[in-house]
Each structure stands twice: as structure tokens, then as C-alpha cells.
Amino acid sequence: MGFWSSFWDIIWWFVWAFAFIAYLFALFAIIGDLFRDRKLNGWWKAVWILFLIFVPFLTALVYLIARGSGMAERGAAEARQAKDATDAYIQQVAGSSAADEIAKAKALLDSGAITAEDYAQLKAKALS
């Protein structure tokens, strides 16, 4: 009988594959968190990595229990920083507000660079 001849062997294989992939996700999350943590010095990072190599499942479990809350805080801080950077970029690319556009047009009118008619058109455009 081959591997694919038994339905339960296939189910068992999928369970083990799922567990292995879940472990890999946890392992990469832990390694990413280790290198993201600025408070932990390099020697402790090396110790965690060594234990992850030689006693992987137990070390991952201990890490998640001992440092899980800090891991969540660092992840939230990184997400907040990425959101702030995205918001700043969008604001920069989107341009200035209507009030800023009107103020610039008023400065151009006061300097004589544009006429009152041009100013009115710029103001209407900014308000639309």
C-alpha cells in the first residue's frame, strides 16, 4: 500500500504540514522580533538564536510566553510608524489645502505677479 492509498494517511500528512508551516511562521516572527528589539543586546539575541536552532519548539514556546507582550508592542509600534509614514507621504503628494492655495494666490496678487481676475480664478479653483 502506498502513501496515497489511505485517506487517513493523507489527512495526517496535511495536519503535520500545517503544524510545520505554522511553526515556520512563528519562527520567522520570533527572529524578526529579535532583530527589531533595540533593548536586547547582541549576546542575548545570539543565545535566543542558538536555542531556536538546537531546541526549536521549546524555545519558541518560551519566547512567546516570556516576551509575547513586548513582541505585540513592538509590532504595534512598527505598524503605527508605517502608518504615520504613509500618511505623511500621502499628505505630501496630495498637495496643500485650499487655504494654502488661496494664500499663495493672494501673495502673488500682492506682489503684482497676477491680476485680480487671475486671483479670482485661482481662488475659485482652490475652493472647488
Cell representation of residue 3: 502513501
Quote the DSSP letter at residue 112.
T
Question: What does the pLDDT look like over 18-47, one tens digit per residue?
Answer: 999 999 999 999 999 998 888 888 899 999
Question: What does the pLDDT look like over 43-60, one tens digit per residue?
Answer: 999 999 999 999 998 999
Q: What is the pTM for the complete model shown?
A: 0.60
Nearest alpha carbon to residue 34 among 20, 22, 52, 21: 52
Cell representation of residue 84: 504615520
